[in-house]
Amino acid sequence: MFLARPQALKAQGILGMNKRNIDFIGRYNPRKYYKRVDDKLTTKQLALANNIAVPALIGTVCQQHEISHIPEMVNNKDGFVIKPSQGSGGKGILVITKVDNGHYFKPNGNEVTPSEIDRHVSNILSGLFSLGGKPDVAIVEGLIQFDPVFDGYSYEGVPDIRLIVFKGFPVMGMLRLSTAASDGKANLHQGAVGVGLDIATGKGLHAVQFDKPIDFHPDTDKKLTDIVVPHWDTLLHTASKAYEMSELGYLGTDMVLDQQLGPLLLELNARPGLAIQIANGRGILPHLRHVEQMKNKSMSVEERVAYAKTHFSHSACS
Amino acid sequence: MHSRKPFYILVALLFLAGVAASVYRGIEHNVPFLPGEQVQSWAVDAKVSFQGTGEPAEVKFSLPNDPAFEILVENATSPGYGLTIANDSSGRHATWSVRQARGQQDLYYKVTLVPTGKTQVIAQAEPEAVEYNWPATEKAAAEQIMDEVWSRSATNLSFAQQLNKSFNASDRSQNIELLLSGNSAANLFVQMLNSKGIPAKKVNGLFLEDQRRRQQLTTFVEVYHQGEWLLFNPADGSQGRPDNLLIWDRTGKSTLDVVGGVNSLVSFSMLQDTRSALATSIDVLKNKDALDFSLYQLPLEEQSLFKGILLIPIGVLMVVFLRVIIGIKTSGTFMPVLIALAFIQTTLLTGLVGFLLIVAFGLMIRSYLSELNLLLISRISAVIIVVIGIIGLFTLLSYKFGLSEGLTITFFPMIILAWTIERMSILWEEEGAKEVVVQGGGSLFVATLAYLAMSATWVQHWVFNFLGIHLVILAMVLLMGQYTGYKLLELKRFKPLAGE
């Protein structure tokens, strides 16, 4: 059969787009807090105020005439990342991994000319990447020295860890690995590999690319389910803390592992995608229902993480 | 979580109101449910002629007043005469008047009628039977007949039926023969019913037959029975109303009164015609001056504007359905609807070709602009100007080559096209040509479906003539906004998780 039966998906607890929008985003994410996650600069400032580690901020560009300051800003850096503060879906992120005497290079070795950088930043400021074309701010961030633990698992990009946090409980996680097909980006719809992670241990369980299950990384041929994400407890705690910080009930947290700094919060997402279910090979709905039934018991971050590890692990049945 | 009940009640109310308004409009205002429906109409000419005596003349002529026929148009031609059409206690009538009438006078009255199918004649108030005094010579015979028929009947109706029968029996009694020799059957029939206290009156009817000339009115008798007037024809013993009968005059008095003239007579000619049911009901509504929410009251220009605007809900419904229930991705939420509106002007094939040509050309020029390192706002503006240029060029070229289809390309919304080109171009740079084809194709697919829905003649007929349908669409859109089930394409996407 070409299509799955709706009853079969329902029995597996698969969350659909319409249900996510109405029953979770619409109900648990108050509109007034969206700015905290849609504007990455605000997220960064909030995170710093809440003692959550984030990538270093090199500077911001708010006006067209400030674009000329970029070379000074990145003068003595090895690499940097330029991103629109209000970009969505990973749009408009420019990663420069090598700065060599006024020449800039992308992770794949291609050179980016200064005028291309100028145009990119100008596009960001004009609002090309923001929702509704609102004028935006460009953020220049330090390059993440990503943890060598993922060497061979990611092609030309930073692997990031997505955790879905529902009312403060991390309920599902996945590791996103960039591929040649995704052009070094970690977005699943662009061809990145998603590896479902066990909430209790951070161990890889199941992997997909383009919504199809795979076992080996398409570029490096390493077995994907062998991955164990280090600093797993810190990641869970950071994600859980993001709930208090953003006050959004249904939240996607994106984190990266830095060699020196450990887990860093990259961004938050008030409308996290549904592909995480495919990466985990199971539906998220039973976990969400489980948390909903707990009513409003107030628990600390530690209690929530401990609860999630015992109840939302793959080995535990919910 | 608050109760969803008020929401569903609202949706149900909208739905019911929409359906009820549409049905009311269809049945009460005779607006046809399907486009292109035809109805019969009758054009009847009445010719009144008399010999003027040189005196002031006044002609009073009864006009048709029959619930079974709706008057679309009526007019009277009568050079030199003053004319009043009045509706008073003596029924609807036309009065022609002139200071001096000499010799042959011809007056014409023309009317166009549409059958309504309401053949019942309901009495407004309980009528009273008019007491009739029989002349001494007829009294005994009449009473004998009446008593005899009375004894064979149970109700007023059966009395009339039996009486009608005995008037036309092959072996009529001596008494009836005697009375009919001095009276017309209709008069006698009315008098006998009235004597028994049964309200009855003479009416004049016209048989409608195509292309007949010099027709005369036929006399019938209406008998009151339980709030309704029933039709009898004592001349041939029939009862009930023939389908092609128009009751011209229900006053029970003479149809034509001429003062100041002699040898007056009226004759009728008639012609059957078919006309659009929609145009007919619009004409009827205009005549009635009824409280009417139809858009036909607007000037023609606004009407044609609304014909386009009222198609948008259909396109929007289509987009909501394809996005929420099916799950098709489009570039720009309602861009497909605007493209579909343009397709209505250009027709589908020309529209698709034109759209692809403009976007392809635009993308080529846009790729040059992207090298120029411009600000977004001026780049979009440049694209808009270029799009106008492309449209102008294509229009000119197709005119030169004699392709009249190409001229309709101007109907494409330019700002929308410019944004489409800009988005596609960014999409191309960021996600590759494949995503451009997926999203662009999705948009065109949705636009095509929206176009097909919007261009169906019965859809256009419904959205303009039955405004209630928009409430139904609103209810459906609201309802789909509550749909939490899976999208059709999600069933494919999550297929690996179905657990098979």
Tell me the C-alpha distance between A130 and A88, whole Å.
7
Q: What is the mean pLDDT of chain B?
A: 84
Which residues of chain B have a CB within 8 Å of the CB of A126?
375-377
Q: Give the model's confidence band at A318: pLDDT under 50 very low, under 70 low, under 90 confident, else very high.
A: very low
Is A211 in Cβ contact with B486 (below 8 Å)?
no
Q: Give the model's confidence band at B293: pLDDT under 50 very low, under 70 low, under 90 confident, else very high.
A: low
The residue in chain B having the minimum alpha-carbon distance to the alpha carbon of residue A117 is: B373
B303 versus B430: the higher-pLDDT residue is B303
What's residue A162's pLDDT? 93
**pLDDT above 90 as % of chain A:** 16
Which residues of chain B have a CB within 8 Å of the CB of A278?
493-494, 496-497
Q: Could you write out the DSSP letters of every residue in chain A?
A: --S--HHHHHHTTPPPHHHIIIIIIHHHS-GGGHHHHHSHHHHHHHHHHTT---PPEEEEE-SGGGGGGHHHHTTT-S-EEEEETTB-TTTT-EEE-EEETTEEE-TTS-EE-HHHHHHHHHHHHHTSSBGGG----EEEEEPP-B-GGGTTT-SSS--EEEEEEETTEEEEEEEEE--TTTTT---GGGT-EEEEE-TTT-BEEEEEETTEEESB-TTT--BGGG-B-SSHHHHHHHHHHHHHHH--SEEEEEEEEETTTEEEEEEEESS--SHHHHHHTS-SHHHHHHHHHTTT----HHHHHHHHHHHSSSSS--
Angle, CA B22 vertex, CA B21 and CA B28 arms, to 5°:
80
The residue in chain A having the minimum alpha-carbon distance to the alpha carbon of residue B431 is: A190
CA distance B362 to chain A (A): 18
Interface membership of B102 toward A (CB under 8 Å): no
Tell me the C-alpha distance between B365 and B370, whole Å.
9
Interface membership of B92 toward A (CB under 8 Å): no
Interface membership of B494 toward A (CB under 8 Å): yes
Is the predicted pLDDT of residue A27 greater than 70, yes or no? yes
Interface membership of B2 toward A (CB under 8 Å): no
Task: Give residue ranges of A with CB < 8 Å to any B CB.
Answer: 2-6, 8-9, 11-12, 14, 16-19, 22-23, 27, 64, 91, 115, 118-119, 122-123, 126-128, 133, 190, 208, 211-213, 277-278, 281-283
Is A17 in Cβ contact with B327 (below 8 Å)?
yes
What's residue A315's pLDDT? 66
Which residues of chain A have a CB within 8 Å of the CB of B488?
3
Q: For residue range A173-191, what is the model confidence (pLDDT) as tens digits? A: 999 888 877 766 777 777 8
Is B497 in Cβ contact with A14 (below 8 Å)?
yes
Q: Which token pair is B307?
A: 């014909």
Of B483, B495, B498, the CB nearest to A18: B483
What's residue B425's pLDDT? 83
What's residue A317's pLDDT? 45
Contacts of B196 (CB under 8 A, 6+ apart): B129, B146, B150, B156, B159
The residue in chain B having the minimum alpha-carbon distance to the alpha carbon of residue A7 is: B498
Nearest Cα neighbor of B250 from B224, B226, B278, B287 is B224
Is the predicted pLDDT of residue A165 greater than 90, yes or no? yes
Interface membership of B496 toward A (CB under 8 Å): yes
What's residue B2's pLDDT? 60
Which residues of chain A have a CB within 8 Å of the CB of B478?
none
CA distance B6 to chain A (A): 17
Find the mean pLDDT for residues A248-262: 90
The residue in chain B having the minimum alpha-carbon distance to the alpha carbon of residue A12 is: B498
Q: For residue range A41-89, what is the model confidence (pLDDT) as tens digits? A: 999 999 999 888 898 888 888 888 888 888 888 888 888 889 998 887 6
Q: What is the mean pLDDT of chain A?
A: 85
Is the predicted pLDDT of residue A114 greater than 90, yes or no? no
CA distance A189 to chain B (A): 10
Of A8, A18, A123, the CB nearest to B499: A8
ipTM of this complex prediction, to 2 decimal places:
0.78
Interface membership of B368 toward A (CB under 8 Å): no
Q: For residue range B94-153, what is the model confidence (pLDDT) as tens digits? A: 889 989 888 888 899 998 888 887 778 887 777 877 778 888 888 888 888 888 888 888
Find the mean pLDDT for residues B211-232: 86
Which residues of chain A have a CB within 8 Å of the CB of B493?
211, 278
Is B491 in Cβ contact with A4 (below 8 Å)?
yes
What's residue B313's pLDDT? 93
Tell me the C-alpha distance between B95 and B92, whole Å.
10
- B462 in Cβ contact with B18 (< 8 Å): no
CB pairs under 8 A between A and B: 87
Cβ atoms < 10 Å from Cβ of B236: 10
Q: Which residue of A5, A12, A18 to mutate against B (max B Cβ within 10 Å)?
A: A18
Q: Which domains does chain A carry?
A: 6-52+147-311 (3.30.470.20), 57-142 (3.30.1490)
The residue in chain B having the minimum alpha-carbon distance to the alpha carbon of residue A122 is: B375
Is B487 in Cβ contact with A16 (below 8 Å)?
yes
For chain B, the structural domain boundaries read 304-466
Which residues of chain A have a CB within 8 Å of the CB of B324?
18
Of A14, A126, A133, the CB nearest to B494: A14
Q: Give the model's confidence band at B368: pLDDT under 50 very low, under 70 low, under 90 confident, else very high.
A: confident
Of A9, A12, A119, the CB nearest to B373: A119
Is the predicted pLDDT of residue B263 greater than 70, yes or no? yes
Which residues of chain B have a CB within 8 Å of the CB of A133?
376
Please report, as a single letter, which amino acid is at residue B351.
Answer: G
CA distance B372 to chain A (A): 9
Which residues of chain B have a CB within 8 Å of the CB of A213?
496
Of B370, B431, B484, the CB nearest to A22: B484
- B266 in Cβ contact with B46 (< 8 Å): yes
Find the mean pLDDT for residues B284-296: 67
Please report where in the chains the tokens 């991103």 appear, as a residue. A83
DSSP, collapsed to helix, strand or coil, labels residue B394 as helix
Nearest Cα neighbor of A284 from A271, A274, A295, A269 is A274
Interface membership of B375 toward A (CB under 8 Å): yes
Is A17 in Cβ contact with B490 (below 8 Å)?
yes
Q: Could you write out the DSSP letters of every residue in B119-148?
A: --EE-SS---PPP----HHHHHHHHHHHHH
Q: Which residue of A2, A3, A63, A174 to mutate against B (max B Cβ within 10 Å)?
A: A3
Q: Give the model's confidence band at A132: pLDDT under 50 very low, under 70 low, under 90 confident, else very high.
A: low
The residue in chain B having the minimum alpha-carbon distance to the alpha carbon of residue A119 is: B373
Q: Which residue of A1, A2, A14 to mutate against B (max B Cβ within 10 Å)?
A: A14
Is B496 in Cβ contact with A18 (below 8 Å)?
no
CA distance B411 to chain A (A): 26
Q: For residue range B300-351, what is the model confidence (pLDDT) as tens digits? A: 888 888 888 899 999 999 999 998 999 888 777 788 888 888 888 888 888 8
Which residues of chain A have a CB within 8 Å of the CB of B496?
208, 211-213, 278, 281
The residue in chain A having the minimum alpha-carbon distance to the alpha carbon of residue B492 is: A3
Maximum C-alpha span of chain B: 117
